[in-house]
Chains A and B, each alone.
Chain A
Amino acid sequence: MSRLAKNKLLTFALFLVALQLILAIGAPLFAPYDPMAQSVARRLRGPTELNWLGTDQLGRDVLTRILYGYRTSLIACVLAVGIALLAGGALGLVAAYYRGWPDRIIMRVMDVLFAFPVMLLAIGIIAVLGPHTYSAAAAIAVVYTPIFARLLRGPALVLCESEYVAGAKAIGASDARIIFLHILPNLASVILVQTSLLLSAAILVEASLSFLGLGTQPPTPSLGLMLSEGRNFLQLSPWSAIFAGFAILFLSFGFNLLGDALRDTLDPRLRGQP
């Protein structure tokens, strides 16, 4: 693919993600209604001038709830992937830097966590914590931690072997300094790409969990929950479920495309490849 097309794709992805982020952050400004305001008389309507995307089973505005739903989903997923990145990243770097028994123990534990299918471990964790947005976030964080640990340990190992780090050690730089100033910046592109891709996946997991009634709970607006509630009324008014489904798709799509485009642009090993 030509460089130009690549840049266009990256720009498009950035635009898509930024747009949805702005909508989520500015939900109270943009949303035409109160997300909790019910109106039985106007429930389960299709798109009208008053409610652009229709209303749900309690007459709440679907557009408003989708905007707030973006917020819930993003908060949960950014939190989850953020924690996973911090925890997994730290563990991976420590393992790579110190080698020996810390490496063995950490990576064994990571192997065990990594062995679980994502949804299954998430469901198990929620069985313990109880269904809630933050339980879902915690579950996703636990599940993704080993991914970051494994991802960072490999390249970090190579970097630790490099003359460049050996040089830093020789002039007496502290371990923390070496990790933060010399190793981490070199891993930035890997981290950025993976974070974006995992955010995309996390959005789907969070939506699946909410769909199963294990994630966000009413009356909090959440995309997965809207789909889950809306599906009981599909033949009366499919709008709430349909639009919520599209919102999940767009959000997850945006991050995935961003990750994909970033990989093309940033990842030196892949540069020049199709």
Chain B
Amino acid sequence: MNRVLISRLIDLVVVLFGVSIIVFLMIRLIPGDAVAIMLGANTEITPERMAELNRRVGLDRPIIEQYLLWAGSALRGDFGTSLWTGRPVATEIMTHLWPTLELTFLSLVIGAVLAVPVGCLMAQTRGGGADVAMRIAAIAGLTIPSFWLGIVLILLLASFAPSFASLGYVPFSEDPLGNLQRMLLPSIALALPILANLSRLVRSAMLDALGQDYIRTARAKGLSERKVVYKHALRNALIPFLTSVGIMTGYLLGGAIVVEQVFAIPGLGRLILGAIAERNYPVIQATILVVTAGFVLVNFLVDLLYIVVDPRVRA
């Protein structure tokens, strides 16, 4: 077990190192004079201002030195300051992190909670037209563009229940009800594919469980049908569920970028899209790095959980 853990940890470090190099190089490869681009359209510009900005971004140093300086301070949690607002990038990321985390968390919860009954329903209607219809619906849920769904939801709500259509974001700590009210639509827009994905997992785990010996045993012991099915089938569904959490987190982060834009939620997606438009290099770098590192960590934790849950992996 320890050996597995250590080798996974080494993998983790190597991957994070690679990620940092790619992120760093990506920004340096952007065509053209970064500084000139930063200064905006139809404004006048002096050579002094160019030089000053170059110095500030650190673009006047050799590339290896730039990387070491950047990576060194990033390890200490210092990602420099935002070019335009002069705020520490770490603070920017922190303030944008919570809305995104909440959005992904809520979508995951909504998806997972609804997936259990939907999956069971699908399992019960096994075979025949209903099954095919369910399956088609699940795939449709998986492939519906979340940004499109988001806009449609906003418009529908605006025309049918305008007073409920609250937009933007208020922190949960400030106004719990208002927060949930505002997060409801975007979470639903993001949760649909999760629901589709998970309900299929639940369905097949359910069908598996129903055919197993221990279910028959349990039934024979006189346990109620419902209890048996839920307990065993859901435990069965846990492992494939864990595997897909990693994938779903990646999907959610991507989906959040677009959905935040539509619902005016000040999350990481907005931060990075804004930073790209403004050429705010320190922010772009740090955001991609932090989000990717977070994603890698989630997958790492899933791996660990997997080891705990599934004894076979320990060997």
Contacts and interface: CB of A to CB of B under 8 A. Distances in A.
| In-complex A–B contact (CB below 8 Å) | yes
Interface in A157-178: none
A242 B156 CA distance: 13
Contacts, number: 136
Contacts of B288: 116, 120, 124
A252 B142 CA distance: 9
A18 interface: no
A59 B204 CA distance: 49
B291 interface: yes
Interface stretch (A22-30, A80-88, A89-97, A200-208): A200-208
B287 to A, nearest CB: 8
A241 interface: yes
Contacts of A253: 139-140, 143
A101 to B, nearest CB: 14
B136 A257 contact: yes
Most buried by B among A120, A212, A234, A248: A120
B29 A120 contact: no
Contacts of A204: 143, 145
Instruction: Determine chain A's interface SS by DSSP, over half rule.
Output: helix
A115 B155 contact: no
A123 B143 contact: no
B14 to A, nearest CB: 6
Most buried by B among A119, A238, A248: A119
Contact of A124 (B18, B26, B203, B249): B26
A245 B148 contact: yes
Contacts of A241: 148, 151
B272 A120 contact: yes
A128 interface: yes
Most buried by B among A124, A205, A245, A249: A124
B147 A115 contact: no
Contact of B143 (A108, A113, A208, A249): A249
B273 interface: yes
Most buried by B among A117, A118, A212, A234: A117
A204 B140 CA distance: 12
B26 A111 contact: no
Contacts of B127: 1-2, 5
A256 B11 CA distance: 32
Contact of B155 (A113, A208, A238): A238
B292 interface: yes
A204 B139 CA distance: 13
A124 B140 CA distance: 29
A123 B272 contact: yes
A211 interface: yes
Contacts of B261: 212
A108 B10 CA distance: 11
Contact of B151 (A116, A234, A274): A234
Interface in A110-167: 111-113, 115-120, 123-125, 127-128, 130
A254 to B, nearest CB: 9
Nearest to B158: A235
Contact of A109 (B18, B126, B155, B204): B18
Contacts of A117: 249-250, 253-254, 291-292, 295
A125 B26 contact: yes
A212 B131 CA distance: 36
A171 to B, nearest CB: 36
Interface string B99-111: 0000000000000
Interface in B271-312: 272-273, 276, 284, 288, 291-292, 295-296, 299
A102 to B, nearest CB: 16
Interface in B22-38: 22-23, 26-27, 29-31
A130 B15 contact: no
A95 to B, nearest CB: 16
Nearest to B203: A274
A115 B145 contact: no
A253 B143 CA distance: 6
B207 A128 contact: no
Contacts of B291: 117, 120
A42 interface: no
6 contacts: A112-B18, A113-B22, A120-B292, A128-B30, A207-B145, A260-B139
Given A113-B22, A115-B15, A124-B284, 7 more contacts: A9-B132, A116-B19, A116-B288, A117-B253, A120-B291, A241-B151, A242-B152
- List the 4 shortest-distance A-B pairs measured between CB atoms, nearest first: A119-B254, A112-B18, A252-B143, A245-B148
